[in-house]
């Protein structure tokens, strides 16, 4: 992924934003059975995430982010993102949505 920002940023600021996003998701969806421990898992090891090794972390329900860099002038982020499309994107993602709708009273 390449992301251009309006404001100059650092790698630490972006990592903190991901952590804050995880806290927000945990408070909103953490009580659901199918929710992952972390919505986004930051991986600091070089060459990670890798589909065959990492895609099933947290039951396949976390999005993995690795190789996070802030390029030269501080206005462009670069990183790899990996999610398990069958689990998070379809099967378990649909179950998580149904759990949320049930908890919120939209379905009975």
| CATH code for the domain of 47 | 3.30.360.10
In a domain, 89, yes or no: yes
Report how many domains make up the chain. 1
Q: Domain for residue 108, yes or no? A: no
Model confidence over 67-106: pLDDT tens digits? 999 998 999 999 999 999 888 888 888 999 999 999 999 9
Which residues are CB-neighbours of 3 under 8 A, at least 6 positions away? 76, 77, 78
pLDDT of 86 reads 85
| Separate counts of helices (H) and strands (E) for the chain | 3, 4
Tens of pLDDT, residues 38-58: 999 999 999 999 999 999 999
The confidence score (pLDDT) of residue 22 equals: 96
CA-angle at 76, arms to 74 and 78, nearest 5°: 120
Q: What is the pLDDT of residue 76?
A: 95
On whether residue 83 sits in a domain, the answer given is yes
Residue 49 lies in a domain: yes
The two tokens of residue 34 are 């199918």
Q: Is a pLDDT exceeding 90 seen at residue 108? A: no
Q: Is residue 80 part of a domain?
A: yes
Which residue segment(s) compose the domain that 89 sits in? 2-103
């Amino acid at each position: 992924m390449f992301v251009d920002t309006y404001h100059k940023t650092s790698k630490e600021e972006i990592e903190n934003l991901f952590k804050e996003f995880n806290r927000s998701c945990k408070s909103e969806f953490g009580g659901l059975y199918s929710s992952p421990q972390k919505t986004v898992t930051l991986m600091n090891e070089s060459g990670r995430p890798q589909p065959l090794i990492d895609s099933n972390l947290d039951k396949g329900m976390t999005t993995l982010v690795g190789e996070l860099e802030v390029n030269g002038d501080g206005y462009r982020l670069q990183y790899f993102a990996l999610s398990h499309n069958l689990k998070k994107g379809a099967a378990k993602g649909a179950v998580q949505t149904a759990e949320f709708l049930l908890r919120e009273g939209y379905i009975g």
